[in-house]
């Protein structure tokens, strides 16, 4: 949307979830959803609480409305959507893990469902790595996932991280299955 976006942090993710943005929650996205998400992500994470409330409270200015109309005519929503998704993927690359890993009781992984949204990840890192909240909130979601996986691994929990060889083997097996189905076997 023509903005310089900041490093995507857990605090950005939290606010996008709080605003129920389909850009992070899923669902159909409109140009206005992309506009709002880009506004949030253009703010420094330290300024989000202070500035975002003002932006939401006052609504768009006349200049902002004209700029928004210009952006709609200049670019398509699909182009802007793909750009924003690339931005999110760039900052949110968690480790690939095996599905269905059995975790022993008491060794709950970061997605145990106990806390909504990113809170489980944030509190897990604060507790597990003994980091200050501001340090954790400044991390990108991908960084936080990797650090938390490392914390669990150092405590002896097998989080089931896939290696590049594992992923290559999965692709090979999937391609072989597709070929069998295509050949009618």
pLDDT tens digits for 12-34?
A: 888 888 888 888 888 887 777 88
Indicate if 101 and 131 belong to the same structural domain: yes
Helices of type H across the chain: 10-18, 22-25, 31-41, 48-58, 62-74, 77-91, 119-129, 133-137, 141-154, 164-183
Answer whether 147's CB lies under 8 Å from 94's CB.
no
- Domain C-terminal end among 49, 65, 91: 91
Q: Give 30-60 pLDDT, tens digit per residue.
A: 777 888 888 888 888 788 888 888 777 766 6
The answer to whether residue 167 sits within a structural domain is yes
Indicate if 130 and 155 belong to the same structural domain: yes
Average pLDDT score, the chain: 77
Range of the domain at 32: 10-91
Position 104 scores a pLDDT of 42
Indicate if 173 and 136 belong to the same structural domain: yes
Indicate if 54 and 123 belong to the same structural domain: no
Residue 75 has pLDDT above 70, yes or no: no
Indicate if 27 and 71 belong to the same structural domain: yes
The tally of domains found in the chain comes to 2
Indicate if 82 and 110 belong to the same structural domain: no
Position 112 scores a pLDDT of 47
- Domain C-terminal end among 91, 114, 133: 91
Q: Which long-range contacts (CB under 8 A, 24 or more apart) does 60-69 make?
A: 67/2, 68/32, 68/35
pLDDT tier at 159 (50, 70, 90 boundaries)? confident
The answer to whether residue 5 sits within a structural domain is no
Dist CA 104 CA 118 (whole Å): 23
Indicate if 158 and 111 belong to the same structural domain: yes
Position 114 scores a pLDDT of 59
The answer to whether residue 46 sits within a structural domain is yes
Position 166 scores a pLDDT of 83
Indicate if 87 and 99 belong to the same structural domain: no
Position 116 scores a pLDDT of 63
163, two tokens: 């290696």
Question: What global pTM score does this model have?
Answer: 0.55
Residue 164 has pLDDT above 60, yes or no: yes
Indicate if 101 and 73 belong to the same structural domain: no
Of the candidates 83, 77, 88, which has an alpha carbon nearest to the alpha carbon of residue 17? 88
* More confident site: 150 or 112: 150
Position 98 scores a pLDDT of 65
119, two tokens: 């809170």
The answer to whether residue 4 sits within a structural domain is no
The answer to whether residue 108 sits within a structural domain is yes
- Domain C-terminal end among 68, 91, 114: 91
Max intra-chain CA distance, the chain: 63
Dist CA 59 CA 6 (whole Å): 22
Query: Tokens 């993710």, residue?
Result: 13
Of the candidates 112, 107, 103, 135, which has an alpha carbon nearest to the alpha carbon of residue 122? 135
Answer whether 132's CB lies under 8 Å from 139's CB.
no
């Amino acid at each position: 949307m023509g903005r310089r976006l900041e490093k995507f942090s857990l605090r950005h993710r939290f606010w996008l979830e709080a605003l129920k943005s389909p850009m992070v929650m899923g669902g159909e996205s409109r140009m206005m959803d992309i506009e709002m998400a880009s506004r949030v992500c253009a703010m420094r994470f330290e300024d989000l609480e202070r500035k975002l409330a003002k932006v939401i409270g006052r609504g768009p200015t006349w200049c902002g409305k004209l700029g928004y109309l210009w952006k709609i005519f200049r670019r398509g929503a699909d182009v802007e959507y793909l750009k924003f998704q690339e931005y999110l993927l760039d900052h949110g690359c968690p480790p690939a893990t095996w599905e269905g890993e059995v975790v022993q009781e008491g060794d709950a992984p970061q997605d145990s469902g106990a806390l909504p949204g990113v809170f489980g990840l944030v509190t897990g890192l604060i507790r597990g790595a003994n980091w200050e909240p501001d340090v954790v909130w400044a991390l990108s979601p991908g960084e936080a996932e990797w650090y938390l996986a490392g914390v669990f691994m150092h405590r002896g929990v097998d989080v089931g991280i896939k290696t590049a060889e594992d992923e290559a083997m999965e692709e090979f097996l999937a391609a072989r299955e597709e070929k069998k189905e295509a050949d009618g076997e």
